[in-house]
Chains A and B, each alone.
Chain A
Amino acid sequence: MSAGAALSLETLSMGGSPLHRVHPGVKMVCAFALIVLTLSFGRTDVAAMLPFLLYPSVAIGITDIPVGLLARRMAAALPFAAFAGISNLLSDHAVMFRLGGLAVTGGMAACAGILLRTLLSVSYALVLIAATPFPEITAQMRRIHIPGIFIQTLEMTYRYIGTLTDETRGLTNAYRLRAGADDAGVRLARAGSLVGGLFLRTADRAERILAAMRCRGFEANGASVGTRPAHASDWIFLAAVCGSGLLLRIVDVPALIASVIAGMG
């Protein structure tokens, strides 16, 4: 995990593609709706889920999100999903159907289903964050009355991750230079002074931040960034994404295509 990845996503979110111009609240609702629709498929309904690849695929095309970035995010999400997928391979040997000489088991289908769900749900969230500046997301959270203190904590945490990550890197570099340690890690006996020292620096920084905020007229329940109202085009976008998602959830497109192929054969 690196703060640089968050910064590259932040840069992407400042873009000017048609998807960037959609109302942030509408994009958030669409992302949630698509995740819920995707997760609502049965554990082995792999083929019926495939049409949902259309949404991240088109969105990535529109917004120019680097595919490598998506792959790296997928890699972060994979370990636990892969563990669950492989556990299905080992525990479910019932043969679903045979394809030539290959017996496709329930475990195989469930494993593929978990990996596809992971790919889709990670993509939806990534597209949302790559096409929506973070302050617009937190502004929408304020609109639905999520507690202000939580949103302010969230915004400041996000803002200071990069700073503290750099500070941590400096601390560990200094440790390695002095201790002559290799890259394997820091000795457990040094945990207190290293992490404790980092926290004390953090606490001092927090006091400086508070002083700076007060100098600029900060109030705990002060005004927040306003949001623009949704236009007709935003409502059309919402209807198109959610409506088509519902349709793809009900109609099994691969089966329809297969029926055409079977009819031709």
Chain B
Amino acid sequence: MHMADALLHPAVGGVMWAAGAAAIGVSAKKSAAGDTSGSRLPLMAVSGAFVFAAQMINFTIPGTGSSGHIGGGILLAALLGPFPALLAIASVLLIQCLFFADGGLIAYGANLFNMGVIPCLLAYPLVFKPIMSKGWTAWRLRAASVAAVAAGLLAGAFGVVLETQVSGITRLPFGAFVLLMMPIHLAIGIVEGIITAAVLSYVYAARPEILERAAAVGSTVTPAGARSLRPVLLTLAAAALVTGALLSQFASSFPDGLEWSIERTAGSAELEADAPAFRRAQSVQDATAFMPDYGFGENSERSEALGTASAGVVGAVITAALAVGAGAAVRAVKRKRAA
């Protein structure tokens, strides 16, 4: 469910970064509270690496021929408490983004929100904890795990759809996108929920104090259950609104920002150049721009456009060749000097 940078508009990425940063800030504060010695830190950190490593284990799903692996958010929230779990997930996502191209730098905030904030700070306290509040039984644990993991995954998948749609990169209709994403993530959520329940049952049977301590971390950090989430949600909402309001100037389209700058510099939003080369460039650009100003340009001079379109494609190929060739030339020169 990792989103790539290519699917996000920078403004949407910025808003989600603000929401993610606020969540990390609140979680860091809550996690550090009452842990001045840093004794919780190693378990948080190694748990992040644990999630990363445990995702390598693929479990066969009977009767389907497919496989699944652990999720992470709900499992870590139950093992560490919601706020330390969010920090561990945030670390894993950043490492996946930087070292494994799983997600992108601009998409990091969106991925953190979809795969960290939603399961740890929403699904865990609102679904998992209320079900488990009547005491630990095997069936209750299974029900809580499946319900919380599935709810977290469905909400996260819906987040992916919303963020992609708002970015305007894909033209897939909203309804079709939702119908594609929801059923598959419901199925994944049920399998991940079953695995999560099995792991939690095993840990509870072997070392109950780990889960009891995590539940206590959650309850001391969030003394009144869902009600104590209010500051977190308010912070997230405020950060998203403020950033959204600021970035909405650019969200309509980034070139507006550029045009604004150019207008301030040159006195006009459109730079006017009258040299023959610029006039020829303009005619080629008019013909080859796939969607000038995000509109389907009806070209009235089709025959002329065909020739200029061909030139445009050749121009694009030459540009790409020059760009890639520059790197090859640098490498060749380096090797020649080293030889």
Chain A residues engaging chain B, CB cutoff 8 angstroms: 1, 5-6, 9, 31-32, 35-36, 39-40, 42-47, 50-54, 56-62, 64, 73-74, 76-77, 80-81, 84, 87-88, 90-92, 94, 96-100, 104, 106-107, 109-110, 114-115, 117-118, 121-122, 124-126, 128-129, 137, 146-150, 152-161, 163-165, 167-169, 171-172, 184-188, 190-200, 202-203, 205-207, 209-210, 213, 218-220, 249-250, 252-263, 265
Contact = CB atoms under 8 A, between A and B. Distances in A.
B91 A50 contact: no
A51 B331 contact: no
Interface in B7-41: 7-10, 13, 24-25, 27-29, 31-32, 35-39, 41
B269 interface: no
Given A80-B2, A91-B172, A262 B284 contact: yes
Contacts of A100: 306, 310
A97 B255 contact: no
Contact of A96 (B203, B258, B291): B291
A118 B6 CA distance: 5
Interface of B: 2-10, 13, 24-25, 27-29, 31-32, 35-39, 41-50, 52-62, 67, 70, 79, 87-88, 90-92, 94-102, 104-106, 164, 168-173, 176-177, 191, 194-195, 198-203, 206-207, 210, 253-255, 258, 262, 276-278, 280-285, 287-291, 294, 296, 299, 302, 305-316, 318-320, 322-331, 334
A152 B10 contact: no
A239 B146 CA distance: 52
Q: Name the residue among A99, A137, A147 with the largest chain B CB count within 10 angstroms.
A: A147
Given A1-B96, A261-B314, A39 B289 contact: no
Nearest to A220: B38
Contacts of A104: 290
B327 A109 contact: no
Given A122-B101, A154-B91, A157-B48, A198 B312 contact: no
Given A57-B326, A122-B101, A153-B87, A195 B38 contact: no
Contacts, number: 422
A88 B99 contact: no
Contact of A39 (B8, B25, B276, B313): B8
Contacts of A74: 101
B203 A200 contact: yes
Given A56-B327, A64-B334, A153-B45, A129 B98 contact: yes
B312 A265 contact: no
B60 A185 contact: yes
Contact of A259 (B277, B299, B306): B277
B61 A188 contact: yes
A128 B101 CA distance: 12
Contacts of A146: 24
B13 A39 contact: yes
A255 B290 contact: no
A96 B91 CA distance: 43
Given A91-B171, A260-B277, A263-B276, 17 more contacts: A1-B102, A39-B6, A50-B316, A59-B327, A84-B7, A152-B45, A154-B91, A188-B60, A192-B201, A196-B202, A202-B47, A220-B37, A254-B315, A258-B315, A259-B281, A259-B283, A262-B284
A152 B57 CA distance: 26
Contact of B168 (A43, A115, A199): A43
A126 B55 CA distance: 23
Given A6-B95, A53-B324, A149 B56 contact: no
B104 to A, nearest CB: 5
A41 B305 CA distance: 23
Contacts of A250: 258, 262
